[in-house]
Amino acid sequence: MTRLLVLSRSAVGPRMASPGVRAYQLAGALGRALPAAEITLGIPGDREPIAPPAPNVRMQAWSSNAEAAFLAATHDVTIARNFPPQLARVLGKTRFALDAFTPFYVEWMELSRRDILPKWRRTWMASNRSYINFQLTLADFIFCADERQRDMWIGMMMALALVPPDVYERDPSLRRVIDVVPYGVPSRPLSPGRRVLRGVVPGIEEGDRVLLWNGGITEWNDVETLLHAMARLVRTRPEVKLVFMGVSHPDMVFGPTSGVNKLAYELSEELGLKDRNVFILNGWVPYEEIDNYLAEADASVCLGYENIESRFAFRTRYVDLFRARVPLLCTQGDVLANRVHDAPMGLTVPERDIDAVVDGITRLLDDRDFVATCKANMATMATELSWDTVVQPLVDFCVSGESYAMPAGRRRLQSYARGGMYVAFKRLCLSPPIYDH
């Protein structure tokens, strides 16, 4: 019997962000694809209970890196978004599948501007660079969210000498070393159970038009442009209400007093929008409640920047919008924004363009024919992104019993060295947190 471990480093439970949701849904999709397999979903610490995602998935809490290493050693395949350095000692005893669905390095670069004192930023980022190098070295198989990300990761692997001639000869396409498993959506249709916005949140009435910001506010989001656009729009459209769905990240990545969240609070108040036309919900929307919010949205919006982060981003917050058929306004530049524009499934705008944002929101609220086209195209996209469909490359790796990566014996010393460099740099970085998360 194949034994698989999906090791989540993020919160899995009633409240979870995209990494926890992905671990939960991947475990479920693997369980459905491999009903004879024994699958463990490893959850960090004691969390509020949540039903297993499939009958053959058992939930097990883990509380230390040593415990994670023990769990990995008792499974044939260990799947995780990132592996603790302690797992290097079980290289060769389990096959490692690295879930590289986010451009870690660029995200950490953005977060370091917020959290790390300038004099410690280079040291902190050096530790993270070593950490990524360790992840790529440990992995027998890597799966990412799209082809653009795949090109990025292949380039990094080549720079680390992880694609020597013998690996290339075994698989010149490298598909059995690194492939694409997008962030998916459940196959079930949207199933709202109750009202959560209109007539419930003070200030949002029955006849209002709701714009939904689906997810948290991160350092790579441009809320400033959106709030200035809202200030202009509501002069003639006071019925338009913008809702931010949560500001207290389950993994403590950000909170109400940090970075862009703080800016959103302060600017919305300064512009006279807060709790009148802009609503920033406290806490974090429970996973089982998300359908209720999506069902009340007339349109959705998410703005960012045309930079290196967007070049390699796969906006996980978009995929539930596809499933819910909620037309989207977003900044151009990332892979899914291209799909939104081309299909179309909404509208894309240049970065920091207030006029384009105002015009785009107006069209999504008023152009019924265009919106109908967007919704039909979103239905097609949601089918393409079903978890049970996108998981197939990972299923193939799990059942193959093979690794096409560089042999474990040749990776072992490199993994110890790169893991050790990560630990050393992390200990050198003495910067205290700038913000209270």
Token pair for 399: 């059942």
Distance CA 429, CA 113 (A): 14
Mean predicted lDDT score pLDDT of the chain: 94
The rounded distance, in Å, linking the Cα atoms of 412 and 89 is 8
Residue 340 has pLDDT above 60, yes or no: yes
What is the percent of the chain with per-residue pLDDT over 70, rounded to a whole number? Answer: 97
pLDDT at 113: 83
Q: Give the model's pLDDT for residue 436.
A: 47
Is residue 241 classed as helix, strand or coil in its secondary structure? strand
What does the pLDDT look like over 8-50, one tens digit per residue?
999 999 999 999 999 999 999 999 999 999 999 999 986 778 9
- Pairing label, strands 299-302, 209-213: parallel
4 φ/ψ angles, rounded to the nearest 5 degrees: -115, 140
Question: pTM, whole model, 2 decimals?
Answer: 0.95
pLDDT at 216 over 80: yes
CB-based contact 74:38 (threshold 8 Å): no
Return the amino acid letter for 14.
P
pLDDT per residue as tens digits for the range 353-384: 999 999 999 999 999 999 999 999 999 999 99
Stretch 152-173: mean pLDDT, rounded?
A: 97
- 58-101 confidence digits (pLDDT tens): 999 999 999 999 999 999 999 999 999 999 999 999 999 999 99
Is the pLDDT confidence value at 254 over 80? no
